[in-house]
């Protein structure tokens, strides 16, 4: 007999989704910074582009996950 609490499962899925979102946004930011450096940008400019890409990706992915959560609920 399986007696798993549904709230515990939902919390675990939420934490896992948050971890995936953060890793994906960090990867996108790193790629954006690397591409900026390859384009000849200085370190501060590349870091600024990486930060903007990280923030933008985090915003978009979080909005999509929120939309999916509200639709599937």
Q: How far apart are alpha carbons 45 and 37 in whole angstroms? A: 8
Q: How far apart are alpha carbons 41 and 33 in whole angstroms? A: 9
pLDDT of res. 2? 60
The two structure tokens encoding residue 44: 């501060």
- Mean residue pLDDT of the chain comes to 88
The two structure tokens encoding residue 10: 């939902």
pLDDT of res. 3? 62
In this predicted structure, the answer to whether residue 39 has a pLDDT above a threshold of 90 is: yes
């Amino acid at each position: 007999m399986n007696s798993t609490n549904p709230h515990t499962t939902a919390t675990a899925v939420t934490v896992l989704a948050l971890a995936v979102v953060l890793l994906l946004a960090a990867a996108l930011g790193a790629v954006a910074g690397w591409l900026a450096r390859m384009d000849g940008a200085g370190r501060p400019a590349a870091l600024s582009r990486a930060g903007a890409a990280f923030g933008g990706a985090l915003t978009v992915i979080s909005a999509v996950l929120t939309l999916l959560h509200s639709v599937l609920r």
